[in-house]
Amino acid sequence: MTSPLLSVRNLVVDFQTGEGVTRAVNNISFDIPAGKTIGIVGESGSGKSVTSLAIMGLLQKPAATIPQGEIIFNGQNLLEYNDAQMRQIRGDKISMIFQEPMTSLNPVFKVGDQIAETIRIHRKISAKEAWDRAVDLMNQVGIPNPSASAHKYPHEMSGGQKQRVMIAMAIACEPKLLIADEPTTALDVTIQKQVLDLLFSLQQKYHMSMLFITHDLGVIGDIADDVVVMYRSNVVEKNNAKEIFYTAKHPYTKGLLACRPKLGANPRRLLTVSDFMDEAGVEKHVSPERVVVFDKETEREKSSDILLEVKNLVTQFPIKGGFFGRTVDHFKAVNDVSFKLKKGQTLGLVGESGCGKTTLGRSILRLVEPASGSIIYDGKDITNVYAEELRLLRRKMQIIFQDPYSSLNPRMTISEILTEPLNIHNVGNGRKERLDMAKELFEKVGLNVAQLNRYPHEFSGGQRQRICIARALMLRPEFVVCDESVSALDVSVQAQVLNLLLDLQQEFHLTYVFISHDLSVVNFIADEVGVMNAGKIIEMDKASNIYKNPKEEYTRALLSAIPKGLVKSDLSALV
């Protein structure tokens, strides 16, 4: 075996914080062979991004220190390079793509200049030649009309196009190694697919090695030859992708693989990492009944009462323009949507960003005013109720938001947050009783009552989302809109919260509208699924039918874009 292109040996990275030293990367080693793709998978805070920044020499000094380890590239230890030497490597031999295409480009320079700049740092060519090369690169990464697009500024491009520009910039000097840190996480699923395909083909074309960092095992299965699994600053498992997917050895890897809902049938409740190992990391035996696949269509209780009916709903936003900023037109975020939802069931709304799914959810709750159409809740038209009636409606209809960090008021304690709805609606007798009600629900969502007087910032993302769920349920609503409620969470936490939502649905006989961009999640939780595009529900059917027999071209495109979690070798066999 030839020596690898890059080899990380016993790398340790520490961060100096106010409270002391935190170890971000703990003694990890792995190799990147020439021409291969290595995937690092791990959840937030596992140390995967820190590893990539360490290779690039981009760690923020002096906060970050590397007390131990080697990063051998072409036989040289990069950690011994000085700044000037490292600059020769960066962008030329090793280049990198970041997660946030929106902010990673300089907003005041033309994209063509930004690509050309990379070339001119490392190659002695004229400005004209560099510009032509930049246009050529933009063509290679699939940006339409490259010679005109090169003159654009970043804000004139979509997120997907910006990420293509980032890629063009990264491959400009034909690097030996391309590091991609969550390059598709901020993108829609169809765009993600295109970007992954692009990276794959460019890698073949330029015989690059690639280090691909992601939290999504599905994505990594599509692209990586070997996989390194990181968990709490450590590498817990590394192997070729096939072995990882089919015969994972470490319980964390097994948990990570299991907690992602599959597009087909799933167990009644999702498996989570805690089914595979305990807090100390010791492997547990998974009880057999947890893995039994469950057919919700036959097993779930059926109800025929319609709780919610939406008829020809339109919600629009004014487009300001013209000379005095008057409203010149309306953008129909929700355009003539109709559906019925039975009691105790879950309607999944799925679509890409900007399709109107969030506006639809808020319009149903009258948090956004619809322009026309009607919303009939429990037999009553609520489209035009106001003031007191609308307030009473809030007791029955609730919402859980996406971002667990911004949806709790940072200046209020959890008990204040939970009792606030009771105060508004004058439910319960006095403080004591309200507090008891808060305690009860706080326990139901799986949190420790002793923490009731704490502030939101003292909880993790998953815990915060549980608090949001508890708040939504304080008034004992019948109907809840979950707006991307698990999207901001790590996969293992996401599984726990999905399970919790199902448990609560059963216990409180809740009816859900579950909004998500993630088709597998919607498939797992919803009875019926509506696919949204450009403000309309283009297709609506039983969840399983949507996945098995999609009727619309758009639905098919969405489905085929989902990372399959197949290993590369299997994929190439399919082609």
Contact criterion met (CB below 8 Å) for 244 and 212: no
What track of x and - describes contact with another protein for positions 164 through 183 (by CB under 8 A)? --x--xx-------------
CB nearer another protein, residue 262 or residue 454? 454
Region label for 209, one of left (φ > 0), alpha (ψ between -120 and 50) or beta (otherwise): beta
| Minimum CB–partner distance for residue 401 and another protein (Å) | 4
Burial of 136 (0-12, 13-18, 19+ CB in 10 A): middle
Q: In whole angstroms, what is the distance from residue 186 CA to residue 121 CA?
A: 29
The answer to whether residue 149 forms part of the interface with another protein (CB under 8 A) is no
Contact criterion met (CB below 8 Å) for 226 and 239: yes
Q: Report which DSSP code applies to 324.
A: T
Q: Could you identify the residue written with the tokens 């959840």?
A: 43
Q: In whole angstroms, what is the distance from residue 336 CA to residue 328 CA?
A: 21
The answer to whether residue 148 forms part of the interface with another protein (CB under 8 A) is no
CB nearer another protein, residue 443 or residue 458? 458
Q: Report which DSSP code applies to 364.
A: H
CB nearer another protein, residue 58 or residue 371? 58
| Minimum CB–partner distance for residue 424 and another protein (Å) | 5
Nearest to 146 by CA among 155, 137, 154, 156: 137
CB nearer another protein, residue 91 or residue 261? 91
CB nearer another protein, residue 77 or residue 406? 406
| Minimum CB–partner distance for residue 91 and another protein (Å) | 4
Q: In whole angstroms, what is the distance from residue 93 CA to residue 90 CA?
A: 6
Residues 512-541 that bind another protein (CB under 8 A): none
Query: CB neighbours (10 Å) of residue 436?
Result: 10
What track of x and - describes contact with another protein for positions 475 through 504 (by CB under 8 A)? x-----------------------------
Q: Which residue among 47, 91, 221, 370 contacts another protein (CB under 8 A)?
A: 91
Considering CB under 8 A, how many residues would be counted as binding another protein? 64
Neighbouring-strand partners of residue 377: 308, 380
Contact criterion met (CB below 8 Å) for 83 and 166: no
Q: Which residue among 23, 65, 72, 122 contacts another protein (CB under 8 A)?
A: 122
Q: How far is residue 247 from each of residues 204, 212, 230, 239, 257, measured CA to CA in Å?
A: 28, 21, 17, 10, 11
Nearest to 294 by CA among 9, 75, 524, 79: 524
Neighbouring-strand partners of residue 31: 7
The answer to whether residue 105 forms part of the interface with another protein (CB under 8 A) is yes
CB nearer another protein, residue 263 or residue 371? 371
| Minimum CB–partner distance for residue 50 and another protein (Å) | 13
Strand ranges inside 164-305, DSSP E: 177-181, 209-214, 226-231, 234-240, 266-267, 293-294
CB nearer another protein, residue 75 or residue 107? 107
290's CB contacts (< 8 A; 6+ apart) are 267, 269, 271, 275
What's the residue count for the chain? 575
Residues 40-79 that bind another protein (CB under 8 A): 56, 58
| Minimum CB–partner distance for residue 391 and another protein (Å) | 5
Q: How far is residue 56 from each of residues 96, 168, 367, 460, 518, measured CA to CA in Å?
A: 8, 18, 46, 30, 32
CB nearer another protein, residue 127 or residue 293? 127
- Take residue 148 and report the two structure tokens written for it: 């005109």
The answer to whether residue 118 forms part of the interface with another protein (CB under 8 A) is yes
| Minimum CB–partner distance for residue 428 and another protein (Å) | 14
Which secondary-structure segment (H or E) carries 205? Answer: helix 189-206
Amino acid at 162: K
The answer to whether residue 153 forms part of the interface with another protein (CB under 8 A) is yes
CB nearer another protein, residue 371 or residue 412? 412
Q: Which residue among 164, 254, 471, 536 contacts another protein (CB under 8 A)?
A: 471
| Minimum CB–partner distance for residue 324 and another protein (Å) | 8
What track of x and - describes contact with another protein for positions 288 through 327 (by CB under 8 A)? -----------------------------------xxx--
The piece of 66-74, 106-114, 214-222, 284-292 that touches another protein (CB under 8 A) is 106-114
Amino acid at 155: H
CB nearer another protein, residue 458 or residue 552? 458
What track of x and - describes contact with another protein for positions 364 through 383 (by CB under 8 A)? -x-x----------------
Q: In whole angstroms, what is the distance from residue 407 CA to residue 481 CA?
A: 14
Burial of 408 (0-12, 13-18, 19+ CB in 10 A): buried
| Minimum CB–partner distance for residue 552 and another protein (Å) | 31
Residues 433-462 that bind another protein (CB under 8 A): 453-455, 457-458
Centroid of chain to Cα 221: 17
What track of x and - describes contact with another protein for positions 387 through 426 (by CB under 8 A)? ----x--xx--xx-xxx--xxxxxx-x------xx--xx-
CB nearer another protein, residue 266 or residue 402? 402
Alpha helices by DSSP H, listed for 426-536, are: 430-444, 461-473, 491-508, 519-525
Query: Would you tell me which residues interact with another protein (CB under 8 A)?
Result: 56, 58, 83-84, 87-92, 95-96, 98, 100, 103-109, 117-118, 121-122, 153, 155, 166, 169-170, 323-325, 365, 367, 391, 394-395, 398-399, 401-403, 406-411, 413, 420-421, 424-425, 453-455, 457-458, 468, 471-472, 474-475
